[in-house]
């Protein structure tokens, strides 16, 4: 006859540990990939952005991104979804979002020597670089970069 061995009871610490691990993992996945919609007027074509910039006498901000880029998504959530940033962007610049994985954008990626995402570049309508930042930019630094654009377009 088979003897049933008594089941060894787990210590409660391990149940707590694995539950906490699961919750933190799910939170991090949400934090990395959730992007709320924003009302920023994005352009995805360089030539049309240049025409808009010349017509409106504004500089262009190019945001180089990719679908797989977690810091890009975090920046979209923490910076571009903010109402203060949205108002400043729409009033001071023409916003251009470029996905580096799209083949049609490779010429622009090479032109501005983009090696990492996110990369934020401010250019004049002729395409000359005025200011740039590689990596995720915090809201306060981004607003400072936007504020510098005001003086450049008024000259």
Q: DSSP letter for 105, please.
A: G
Among candidate residues 52, 62, 69, 123, the one labeled active-site is 69
**Domains of the chain and CATH, by start:** 42-154 (3.40.30.10)
Task: Supply the pTM of this predicted model.
Answer: 0.74
Residue 69 among the catalytic residues: yes
Chain centroid offset of residue 124 CA: 21
Q: Are strands 59-65 and 42-43 parallel, antiparallel or unpaired?
A: unpaired
The one catalytic residue among 60, 61, 72, 146? 72
How far apart are the C-alpha atoms of 96 and 76, rounded to whole Å? Answer: 13
The whole-angstrom separation of Cα 41 and Cα 37 is 12
Give me the tens of pLDDT residue by residue for the chain, a chain 155 residues long: 566 766 777 788 888 898 999 999 888 877 666 666 666 778 889 999 999 999 999 999 999 999 899 899 889 888 998 889 998 898 899 999 999 999 999 999 999 999 999 999 999 999 999 999 999 999 999 999 998 886 544 44
Q: Is 72 an active-site residue? A: yes
Pairing of strands 93-99, 59-65: parallel
Q: For the chain, what is the total number of helices (H) and then of strands (E)?
A: 6, 5
Nearest to 152 by CA among 112, 110, 93: 93
Quote the tokens at residue 145: 């970069």
């Amino acid at each position: 006859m088979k003897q049933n061995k008594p089941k060894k009871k787990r210590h409660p610490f391990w149940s707590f540990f694995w539950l906490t691990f699961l919750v933190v993992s799910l939170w991090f996945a949400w934090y990395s990939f959730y992007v709320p919609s924003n009302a920023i007027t994005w352009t995805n074509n360089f030539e049309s952005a240049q025409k808009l910039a010349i017509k409106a006498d504004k500089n262009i901000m190019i945001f180089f991104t990719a679908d797989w880029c977690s810091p890009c998504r975090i920046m979209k959530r923490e910076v571009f979804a903010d109402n203060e940033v949205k108002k400043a962007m729409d009033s001071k610049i023409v916003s251009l979002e470029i996905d580096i994985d799209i083949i049609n954008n490779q010429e622009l990626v090479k032109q501005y020597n983009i090696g990492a995402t996110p990369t934020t570049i401010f250019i004049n309508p002729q395409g000359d670089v005025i200011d740039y930042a590689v990596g995720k930019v915090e809201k306060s630094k981004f607003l400072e970069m936007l504020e510098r654009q005001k003086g450049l377009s008024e000259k």
